[in-house]
Amino acid sequence: MKLLIKIFSILIFFLSTTFSLCQKKYEFDYLIEYKFTNYQDSLGAKTISRYYLTNSNNSSYLALITNSDSLNYQMTFKDVKGITFNTNYLKSDFIKAEIINVDCYYISPYHFFLKNRINEYDFFNRKDTIINNTNYRKYELYSTKPKKRKRKKLASEVYIVNKNTDFHKPILHLPLAYAEWESKKNIPDGIFKERLLIDYYGNILNKEEIVGYHKIKKAIIIDSKCDYTKK
């Protein structure tokens, strides 16, 4: 009897190990809510709520959550190392779920086509800014090619970062921003309080303002056959 129990335990361990090797798991430990305002809408400024699922120790992937309708969330996921997907989830299911399984049908390879432009952009740390008597770090991403910036009227991206959140790696939704950070690590850690996209003339094109954040425990699991990071 003891031998049978031992054999059964070994078999269960073997099967669970094999199954886990056939999967890729993305873990998230923070949910961060923002108000996103688009000033380019032809009908005037439009503000929506959106959420980031993040891993505080890994900036290479994140999920952006927005309202699809009254019942569903839309999730846009991106792993800059080679995976992206866009799909909907019932809000009630998403809130309760600790593990979200995503079918390979929804998953596509992701290719960062602007790698050759990394040397044309850089982050620049600015003087701290004061908002409501609180000091925040500030940095900016923009083109280092003045002539090209002027000719193409290139925009810049400004981040205002909470100093008390240096437990979290930078949240960089734009692949170019992540590529710059990964290559140079020349900006401070932290959750941004505000992120602004500013055009060549100094006008704000869109703006994100933090509402709040809290710790969570969620994971996205995909099948290894659609793990394009290995291909």
pLDDT of 164-203, one tens digit each? 999 999 999 888 899 899 988 999 999 999 999 999 999 9
Whole-number pLDDT of residue 21 = 56
pLDDT digits (tens, 9 = 90+) for 60-85: 999 999 999 999 999 999 999 999 99
Count the Cβ atoms, other than its own, within 10 Å of residue 90.
13
Q: In the structure, what pLDDT confidence band is assigned to residue 113 with cuts at 50, 70 and 90?
A: low
Percent of the chain at pLDDT above 70?
89
Whole-number pLDDT of residue 14 = 39
Whole-number pLDDT of residue 1 = 54
Structure-model confidence comparison of residues 42 and 222, the more confident one: 222
Whole-number pLDDT of residue 10 = 40
pLDDT score of 143 more than 70: yes
Whole-number pLDDT of residue 38 = 95
pLDDT score of 138 more than 90: yes
Structure-model confidence comparison of residues 108 and 117, the more confident one: 108
